[in-house]
Chains A and B, each alone.
Chain A
Amino acid sequence: MSNVFVVGEIKDGELKKISRELTSAARKIADTLGGQVEVLLIGAGAEKFAGDLGAVGADKVLTADAGDFNAEAYANIISENVKAKKPSVVLMPHTGYGKDYSPRVAVKIGAGIVADVVGLSVDGGKVIGKKPIYSGKAYANIKVTTDIQAFTVRPNSQELGSKAGAGAVEAAAAGAGDVKVKVTGTELSGGSKIQLTEASIIVSGGRGMKGPENFPMLQSLADLLGAALGASRAAVDSGWISHSHQVGQTGKTVSPNCYIACGISGSIQHMAGMGSSKYIVAVNKDPEAPIFKVATYGVVADLFEVVPALTAEFKKVLG
């Protein structure tokens, strides 16, 4: 049996989309290799998502509650369950949480790991992970040679499946163990709940936004579309918007279905962060801006006229 073990993610009481994406990808691998899909969900109330995960291919949903997120505790619980279940493939999310615990899991379970893959295929009984490298200028196909093959998978990179599994719930081992790093306080900056790295639509602004007073215009469009708000380094360095919104080499890497770039010229460093977006819309007055080379739809016009018109038009059609 070649079972596939998935680590799902719950945040703020909600099942993250990446959990269904990973389960869908796992189902395909398990069907090829002949095995089961087991999904581990850590967090309060995990049982209630068994149906959602079963619908995209989970045979079993393992649930554990470990209190607030802690990378060491999660790594302990995940590796304990992997050791008990002995899968041949482990898929983890390449999210903020996943990047925090997956390296520890790889060491604990003695598995080779390929991180940030956007494609998974099976060849000769082994999984091959495809990952963008060198800022998306190339893709590497890599397989893992240890008994357990571990991968972290980029959000929005996997299609949702339609083959259902049993979705049976089982309580998982939940030994959090000793942790060395303790959170003593958090400060949330408010703003949108939609996270940039997992958003399926991003509305982003650059130097062409001219000042902080113009970002609410983009935020309105983003809110209307259920999108996250992004920014280029130029806008962040000018102090118009916080670094947490920055997309690009010294910001976040994103792979949304649709990236709407407003007043962004498109430096190589910016494209390194958003180049794998499926559809790119560029609104820029400068017809020579490099962003137009990657844009699916280019609008050479003044964003201060186009963005409000776009918001109005979407309001009309989205009701």
Chain B
Amino acid sequence: MKVVVLVKQVPDTETNIKLGDKSINEAGIKWIISPYDEFAIEEGIKLREKNGGEVIAVSVGPDRVQDVLRTSYAMGVDKAVHIKVDDYNTFDSLFTSQLIANFAKAEAADIILAGRQAIDTDSSQVPVQIAEELGAGHVVLAIKIEINGTSAKITREVEGGTATVETSLPVVVTATKGLNEPRYPSLKGIMSAKKKPIDVKQAADLGAPASRIEVVGLEPPPPRIAGRKLEAADAAGFASQLVKALREEAKVI
């Protein structure tokens, strides 16, 4: 069984973001694997342990994304592929999905795993777009995956509960918290990951998709409504002040 796992490199949530004109200033940014993608990597490894085959981690972006591919190696993937795009527009989901779909098609992947969303753009677009481009089924928010020959039985989150779905392979699945507990890379894994080869592919080799969006500009978040601490002698005092503020000032309740 061939598993392709999408791995996106994103700024650490705790990193201070400085805005450039149309992209962020990358100086001083600490980069990490987008947290939901770790569930996808773990699941890929688990599926291989159970069903055999290989797990390929793929990441789109400039040379720095090789760091997350090294981490994927350290966690246990078999192969890492870097689709090199230097002026990568992280908001252009169709650009990214076409590159990866063409790659997955060439690899004849049985299952494509990704995080439910990347924490830099929160768009939730790329995995399902890949499914559409491959003519494959997709299941989002998976919390359990069972592969049986050429079909899959997957439990996913739905609003208010869970649903069980069945589909044939190939399928694209997005991972959410609850699917597994991602393993920490072992020291041995980290050491050997340094020596493993990363297969670099150029966007031109994978169809060189056209850009379909244009970033007009970035701006800081809007200022928050000024906050204040309420003063009261006891809980009842706080309650009456708060109810008054929410009803008469904020008018939200």
Contacts and interface: CB of A to CB of B under 8 A. Distances in A.
Interface residues of B, number: 82
Interface stretch (B1-9, B55-63, B68-76, B232-240): B232-240
Contacts of A225: 253
Nearest to A300: B229
B227 to A, nearest CB: 5
A103 B129 contact: yes
Nearest to B143: A243
B24 A138 contact: yes
A137 B252 contact: no
A73 to B, nearest CB: 12
A309 interface: yes
B242 A299 contact: yes
A187 B158 CA distance: 9
B35 A104 contact: no
Nearest to A119: B222
A27 B222 CA distance: 24
Given A103-B126, A103-B128, A269-B13, A181 B137 contact: yes
Interface stretch (A30-38, A52-60, A251-259): A251-259
A313 B221 contact: no
B122 A180 contact: no
Contacts of A294: 224, 227
A296 interface: yes
A200 B250 CA distance: 13
Interface stretch (B79-87, B102-110, B162-170, B183-191): B162-170
Most chain B beta-carbon neighbours within 10 Å: one of A75, A138, A182:
A138
A112 B94 contact: yes
A100 B128 contact: yes
Given A107-B132, A180-B168, A143 B216 contact: yes
Contacts of A309: 235-236, 238-239
A285 to B, nearest CB: 12
Contacts, number: 264
B162 A297 contact: no
Interface residues of A, number: 96
A238 to B, nearest CB: 14
Contacts of A136: 221
A181 B165 contact: yes
Interface string B101-130: 000000000000000000111111111110
A106 B218 contact: no
Contacts of A184: 153, 164-166
A314 B122 contact: no
A289 B166 CA distance: 46
B164 A185 contact: yes
A145 interface: yes
A182 B165 contact: yes
B158 A186 contact: yes
A116 B123 contact: yes
Given A195-B160, A243-B178, A301-B238, A140 B91 contact: yes
A250 B35 CA distance: 8
A96 interface: yes
Given A143-B214, A187-B162, A99 B131 contact: no
Contacts of B216: 123, 128, 141-143
A180 B168 CA distance: 7
Contacts of B36: 250
Given A112-B213, A313-B239, A314-B253, A297 B246 contact: yes
A133 B120 contact: yes
5 contacts: A106-B93, A108-B132, A138-B219, A185-B164, A268-B13
